[in-house]
Amino acid sequence: MSRILEWEEALSLLNKIAHPLPPKKVPLAEAAGLVLAEEITSPVSFPPFPRSRVDGYALGPSLSQEYRLVGEVPAGGGYPKPLGPGEAVRIFTGAPVPRGTIGILPQEWAQEEGKRLHLPFKVDPIVLASLIQKVGEEIEQGEKILVPGMPLTPPEIGLLAALGFREVTVRPQPQVALVAVGSELRDIGEWEESTIPSSNLFALEASLRLDGVQVYSFPPVPDDLKNLVSLIRSKLDLVDLVITCGGTGEGKYDFTARAFIEVGAEFLFTRVNFRPGGRIIVARVGSRFLVGLPGMPSAALVAFHLLVRPLIKALAGKELRPCFWKGILVEQVGKERRQRVFLYARARNVQGIWELTPVNLGQGALKAGIGANALVDLPPGTSPIPRETEVNFIPLNYGPLLPCPLEDKSNI
Amino acid sequence: MSRILEWEEALSLLNKIAHPLPPKKVPLAEAAGLVLAEEITSPVSFPPFPRSRVDGYALGPSLSQEYRLVGEVPAGGGYPKPLGPGEAVRIFTGAPVPRGTIGILPQEWAQEEGKRLHLPFKVDPIVLASLIQKVGEEIEQGEKILVPGMPLTPPEIGLLAALGFREVTVRPQPQVALVAVGSELRDIGEWEESTIPSSNLFALEASLRLDGVQVYSFPPVPDDLKNLVSLIRSKLDLVDLVITCGGTGEGKYDFTARAFIEVGAEFLFTRVNFRPGGRIIVARVGSRFLVGLPGMPSAALVAFHLLVRPLIKALAGKELRPCFWKGILVEQVGKERRQRVFLYARARNVQGIWELTPVNLGQGALKAGIGANALVDLPPGTSPIPRETEVNFIPLNYGPLLPCPLEDKSNI
């Protein structure tokens, strides 16, 4: 369509064009991992009542060395009337402090004998008073506590829960439809003469699921323009992003680009300058996005990691910038590279240095990423890159499967 | 119970004692992110038939400069009989190569005129033959392709799908029950005199969900030994790990340890040498695990991150070792630290150096982790740690919310 973009240019374009989806109110439990889309001010003070920081004794007015024990306040309980002079009550961490309390005596410092309480030594009234946590000490009513754009991790979720929020407005994850295109494809296990399983769908669905994205997978469709167009059209009404896989070449039966045109798509790019996977089409139809991934497994997955995961992040209001780490090649790689190449590798940290070993080089598209946890970024060039060269790489952080950047030295 | 363990010792103990859960067969789509528990040998060859690598022409025996075009083989199709001498068929990427084919002529090199095909220049028969992908070229039937212990990321899932696997045997994630303990706790939004919302449950559930763990949360239970014991007992039959939150102190109403004893638990440790959150109890009952987290929000979350997430990893057959990164404090921190302290901080990469800014210091337990993406590991000591000191930190990688270790320089 136009000149071939560099990867960074393609990302930059996505960053400009892929705006966060409209805010959505979701139950708090579903908000984790999403980005906040509203300013949160606290509707209440926290704690909502003065409470004891420790297990001990709430002491009534005018500090003395001896008190009458008149009751007990467990957490969740209460004491019905104000403490009078010389009165004390047993109290526990988190329990509401009775009116009239001037301080809390920690239980380690107290001597209890029947209904009498002795202070065995002089204690500082300021220390005792400091053991009462005041109303609003942690958070004041009306205080601004969270701002739009913050990712909601467990502490933010806990804070919102503590302030009584049952729902919160977030940038939702895009909903995704996955369609494999190719007359040679069948559902797994449905072996037929001249067909192969539609395996990319499973790999892509796995990646989306690990990122917490809701995905709808559809049975593979044959190379047939009309069929493909009507399928894409029907899915565009239901989801934010339709991803097809296969048919992005320029052959007689490569219908992806033509189908995108038929549904009225505006193309962002149809090719990006890297291998494998540079033959990726990204387009939009109104506010919806269309991605055409190449059908070769390694190409589909690399393009997905380098461009589609960032697109999804952008739609969810997150930072889409790539993560580059630095490492050292442990073996010579590459012959002539007419384009930038992303090479599957195993990154292993040895005494603070990332050692990168290419995996399954020259083993075919299906095996390309097996056992890999990194993509090494190789510039174009006419000669091999010698071992020991420092290179950039991108960790393949699939959900909790993150390569650890520094070896632990504790021999666990 | 015994001497207080260091964090690394506690992890080491978990690593010894928490064995991976028994293998389980799961549908392929649910296996992503889990660890493989069987050796996979391929039941088929891949590709299962010889196929064309490119769009072009399959050429019949005895290479010449001119052929008769006798048909077409799209992907998923086939050609009914062997190619005879001088015969060629139009063929597309991935389509099965007819019997008798000696090579594929790429379409860019061919001249087609009516039913005749011309080779405009001399071509090397070895090159043409290499464009036929042979049966089993990527994977041979019976070939060992995946070994137990491998994490299943998208490429492995794709490979398994391509070979026709609909199910695979993995180490499952543990199932977890979450119970908040405290008479002062109520479900969110049920404000009552002297009570606060059971917020830790939401935070912990969020963390578990982001790690892909199935979790069952229960309404908060009051500080009541009998009640707690029967609740724990009933959950132990249903899940692999029961986590309580609250009541791990040594006060009159701290029933966690006593409840664990009542259900016949064997304690691994009842305290670990760090703050906040060192007052964590880990025990087991037969093959099930019991964790008692402290009730203070920051303590619960730090202990959860430092010990419970690793325990869950070990049960799922994954590496539990912590990730240490190195960074620089941008401000002085700490007064006297009798114990090792893990400090919530914001890690920001500035020209390859991680700058660590403590967040919400001294702001109370609820705000402690807000906006943080790292825990800084501070050793015990009697004086503050000056700014510019190099320290270890642990990234708070909640699912896809990973701090990026190197700033991108491309101005995207």
B192: closest chain A residue by CA: A76
Helix pair angle (A199-210, B154-162), 10° resolution: 150
Q: Omega into A80 within 30° of 0, i.e. cis?
A: no
Kind plus residue range of the DSSP H or E element containing A347: strand A340-350
Measured CA distances, A390 to A84, A342, A381, B136, B285 (Å): 75, 15, 15, 36, 50
Distance from CA of B392 to the nearest CA of A (A): 10
Instruction: Please tell me the predicted confidence (pLDDT) of residue B406.
Output: 42
Residue A411 in this model has a pLDDT that exceeds 50: no
Parallel/antiparallel/unpaired status of strands A51-52 and A281-285: unpaired
More confident site: A24 or B254: A24
Q: How many CB pairs under 8 A join A and B?
A: 365
User: What phi and psi, each to the nearest 5 degrees, are found at residue B244?
Assistant: -105, 160
CB of B408 closer than 8 Å to CB of B351: no
Report the mean per-residue pLDDT for chain A.
91
Question: Measured between beta carbons, which residues in chain A are less than 8 angstroms from residue B364?
Answer: 137-139
The yes or no reply on domain A51-133 and CATH 3.40.1190.20 is no
More confident site: A7 or A191: A7
| Percent above pLDDT 70 for chain A | 96
Average pLDDT over residues B249-271: 92
Of A157, A222, A370, Cβ closest to residue B156: A370
Residue A159 in this model has a pLDDT that exceeds 70: yes
Of A182, A201, A318, Cβ closest to residue B94: A182
Inter-chain touch B211–A151, beta carbons under 8 Å: no
Residue A283 in this model has a pLDDT that exceeds 90: yes
Q: Whose CA is closest to A178, among A245, A272, A273, A229? A: A245
Instruction: Please tell me the predicted confidence (pLDDT) of residue B370.
Output: 94
Question: Measured between beta carbons, which residues in chain A are less than 8 angstroms from residue B157?
Answer: 202-203, 206
Question: Measured between beta carbons, which residues in chain B are less than 8 angstroms from residue A165?
Answer: 188
pLDDT digits (tens, 9 = 90+) for B278-319: 999 999 999 999 999 999 999 999 999 999 999 999 999 998
pLDDT digits (tens, 9 = 90+) for A103-118: 999 999 999 888 999 9
| Domain-wise residue ranges, chain B | 7-22+173-315, 24-41+148-171, 51-133, 325-395
User: What phi and psi, each to the nearest 5 degrees, are found at residue A185?
Assistant: -95, 140
Q: In CATH, what number does B24-41+148-171 get? A: 3.90.105.10
Of A75, A321, A397, Cβ closest to residue B182: A75
Select the residue from A367, A393, A394, A396 to test the B interface by mutation, using most B Cβ atoms within 10 A: A367
Question: Measured between beta carbons, which residues in chain A are less than 8 angstroms from residue B404?
Answer: 319, 321, 323
Inter-chain touch B402–A397, beta carbons under 8 Å: yes
User: What phi and psi, each to the nearest 5 degrees, are found at residue A198?
Assistant: -80, 75
Residue A409 in this model has a pLDDT that exceeds 50: no
CB of A339 closer than 8 Å to CB of A275: yes
CA distance A293 to A271: 10
CA distance A399 to B172: 16
DSSP classification of residue A83: P
Band (pLDDT 50/70/90 cuts) for residue A77 is: confident
Instruction: Please tell me the predicted confidence (pLDDT) of residue B334.
Output: 78
Question: Measured between beta carbons, which residues in chain B are less than 8 angstroms from residue A405?
Answer: 323, 325, 405
Contacts of A173 (CB under 8 A, 6+ apart): A34, A211, A212, A213, A214, A312, A315, A316
CA distance A152 to A140: 21
Inter-chain touch A183–B77, beta carbons under 8 Å: yes
Residue B358 in this model has a pLDDT that exceeds 70: yes
Inter-chain touch A253–B153, beta carbons under 8 Å: no
CB of B361 closer than 8 Å to CB of B329: no
Kind plus residue range of the DSSP H or E element containing A326: strand A325-329
pLDDT digits (tens, 9 = 90+) for B10-65: 999 999 999 999 999 999 989 999 999 999 999 999 999 999 999 999 999 988 89
Report the mean per-residue pLDDT for chain B.
91
Distance from CA of B93 to the nearest CA of A (A): 9
Fold of A325-395: Beta-clip (2.40.340)
Helix (H, G, I), strand (E, B) or coil at A104: strand
More confident site: A11 or B323: A11
Query: ipTM of the predicted structure?
Result: 0.92
Residue A261 in this model has a pLDDT that exceeds 60: yes
Instruction: Please tell me the predicted confidence (pLDDT) of residue A399.
Output: 57
Inter-chain touch B199–A364, beta carbons under 8 Å: no
Measured CA distances, A1 to A4, A270, A272, A283 (Å): 9, 7, 12, 12
Fold of A24-45+151-171: Molybdopterin biosynthesis moea protein, domain 2 (3.90.105)
Inter-chain touch A203–B158, beta carbons under 8 Å: yes
Residue A350 in this model has a pLDDT that exceeds 50: yes
Band (pLDDT 50/70/90 cuts) for residue B399 is: low
Instruction: Please tell me the predicted confidence (pLDDT) of residue A406.
Output: 42
Contacts of A191 (CB under 8 A, 6+ apart): B48, B164
Distance from CA of A79 to the nearest CA of B (A): 10
Sequence-ordered alpha helix ranges (H) in A247-380: 256-262, 297-303, 309-315
Residue A1 in this model has a pLDDT that exceeds 60: no
Inter-chain touch A412–B320, beta carbons under 8 Å: yes
CB of A154 closer than 8 Å to CB of B399: no
CB of B145 closer than 8 Å to CB of A57: no
CA distance A397 to A405: 12
Band (pLDDT 50/70/90 cuts) for residue B187 is: confident
The strand pairing partners of B46, in sequence order, are: B139
What residue type is assigned to position B201 of the chain? Answer: L
Q: In CATH, what number does B7-22+173-315 get? A: 3.40.980.10
Of A93, A197, A323, Cβ closest to residue B405: A323
Band (pLDDT 50/70/90 cuts) for residue B253 is: confident
Residue A141 in this model has a pLDDT that exceeds 90: yes
CB-CB neighbours of A24 under 10 Å: 15
Helix (H, G, I), strand (E, B) or coil at A63: coil
Concatenate the DSSP letters of all residues of A22-58 into one string: PPEEEEGGG-TTSEE-S-EE-SS-BSSS-EESSSEEE
Instruction: Please tell me the predicted confidence (pLDDT) of residue A408.
Output: 40
Of A68-77, A154-163, B97-106, which gets the smallest average pLDDT? A68-77
Average pLDDT over residues B224-230: 94
Of B107, B321, B410, Cβ closest to residue A8: B410
Band (pLDDT 50/70/90 cuts) for residue A2 is: low
Instruction: Please tell me the predicted confidence (pLDDT) of residue B148.
Output: 96
Instruction: Please tell me the predicted confidence (pLDDT) of residue B181.
Output: 93
Inter-chain touch B28–A252, beta carbons under 8 Å: no
Question: Measured between beta carbons, which residues in chain A are less than 8 angstroms from residue B319?
Answer: 404
Secondary structure string (H, E, C) spanning chain B:
CCCCECHHHHHHHHHHHCCCCCCEEEEHHHCCCCEECCCEECCCCECCCCEECCCEEEECCCCCCEEEEEEEECCCCCCCCCCCCCEEEEECCCCECCCCCCEEEEHHHCEEECCEEECCCCCCHHHHHHCEECCCCCECCCCEEECCCCECCHHHHHHHHHCCCCEEEEECCCCEEEEEECCCEECCCCCCCCCEECHHHHHHHHHHHHCCCCEEEEEEECCCHHHHHHHHHHHHCCCCEEEEECCCCCCCCCCHHHHHHHCCCEEEECCECCECCCCCEEEEECCEEEEEECCCHHHHHHHHHHHHHHHHHHHCCCCCCCCCEEEEECCCECCCECCCEEEEEEEEEECCEEEEEECCCCCCCCCCCCCCCEEEEECCECCCECCCCEEEEEECCECCECCCCCCCCCCC
pLDDT digits (tens, 9 = 90+) for B309-346: 999 999 999 988 877 888 999 999 977 889 999 999 99
Residue A312 in this model has a pLDDT that exceeds 70: yes
B32: closest chain A residue by CA: A206
CA distance B283 to B410: 50
CB of A72 closer than 8 Å to CB of A89: yes
Question: Measured between beta carbons, which residues in chain B are less than 8 angstroms from residue A151?
Answer: 401
Instruction: Please tell me the predicted confidence (pLDDT) of residue B69.
Output: 96
| Percent above pLDDT 70 for chain B | 96
| Percent above pLDDT 90 for chain B | 74
Band (pLDDT 50/70/90 cuts) for residue B2 is: low
Instruction: Please tell me the predicted confidence (pLDDT) of residue A305.
Output: 95
CA distance A324 to A322: 6
A299: closest chain B residue by CA: B155
Instruction: Please tell me the predicted confidence (pLDDT) of residue A171.
Output: 97
